[in-house]
């Protein structure tokens, strides 16, 4: 698996097939990037359970924050790592134990050892990507902010309820251009 460059289909499949996240390192602080991602993913219909021992027991956007992955009461599909790369291995081991399908590490977080462990256990891995940005890119929403989605499409955008809400649709895609590899 090439973790430098992901096929858009790989990311799209993960975001389309799965319905829930456990966000490890989620913060109730509204200026943190994790809060932005949490709120956005919830708006897109995902269940996002915040995991943060410092704030365990508090409520965040309708969900109760749990202290660790092992404290989750319901199964989750994707474990989102909003922590330092150093913590990726123990988080991955917990993710495997609780039956998650995907380990997703945030922008700037990459741990190839954790990736190997996850993939050996049959989980998919995404590293150094933000699910909000990827969802925004593949739905085309991020294009409204002038961001290069790196896709082209002859298809109608797929809409969700309300003004200016899209869900992920199809379309011809392309890989990240060489200049940024």
2 binding another protein? (CB under 8 A): no
The least distance separating another protein from the CB of residue 149, rounded to whole angstroms, comes to 7
Site string for another protein, 65-94 (x = CB under 8 A): ------------------------------
Q: Is 39 in the site for another protein (CB under 8 A)?
A: yes
Strands 124-126 and 102-105: parallel
| CA distances to 77, 91, 105, 131, 152 from 20, in Å | 5, 17, 15, 12, 28
CB of 60 or CB of 69, closer to another protein: 60
Contacts of another protein in 4-33 (CB under 8 A): 7-9, 30-31, 33
Tokens 């096929």 sit at which residue?
A: 7
Full DSSP string of 8-76: HHHHHHHHHH--EEEEET--S-TTSHHHHHHHHHHHTT-EEEEE-GGGTT-EETTEEPBSSGGG-SS--
- 167 scored as a contact of another protein (CB under 8 A): no
Regarding 147 and contact with another protein (CB under 8 A), the answer is yes
Burial of 141 (0-12, 13-18, 19+ CB in 10 A): buried
Among positions 14, 79, 127, 130, the unique one binding another protein when judged by CB under 8 A: 130
Residues engaged in binding another protein (CB under 8 A):
7-9, 30-31, 33, 36, 39-40, 43, 107, 130, 133, 136, 140-150, 152-157, 159, 162-165, 170-175, 177-180
């Amino acid at each position: 698996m090439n973790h430098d460059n992901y096929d858009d289909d790989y990311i799209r499949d993960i975001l389309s097939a799965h319905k829930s996240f456990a966000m490890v390192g989620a913060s109730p602080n509204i200026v943190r990037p994790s809060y932005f991602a949490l709120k956005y993913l919830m708006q897109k219909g995902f269940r996002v359970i915040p995991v943060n021992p410092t704030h365990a027991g508090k409520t965040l956007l309708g969900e109760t924050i749990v202290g660790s992955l092992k404290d989750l009461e319901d199964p989750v599909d994707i474990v989102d790592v909003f922590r330092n790369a150093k913590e990726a291995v123990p988080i991955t081991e917990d993710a495997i134990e609780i039956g998650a399908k995907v380990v997703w590490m945030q922008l700037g977080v990459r741990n190839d050892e954790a990736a190997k462990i996850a993939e050996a256990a049959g989980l998919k891995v995404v590293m150094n990507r933000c699910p909000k940005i990827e969802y925004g890119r593949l739905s085309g929403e991020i294009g409204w902010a002038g961001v290069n989605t790196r896709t082209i499409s002859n298809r109608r955008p797929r809409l969700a309820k309300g003004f200016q809400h899209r869900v992920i649709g199809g379309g011809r895609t392309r890989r990240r251009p060489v200049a940024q590899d």
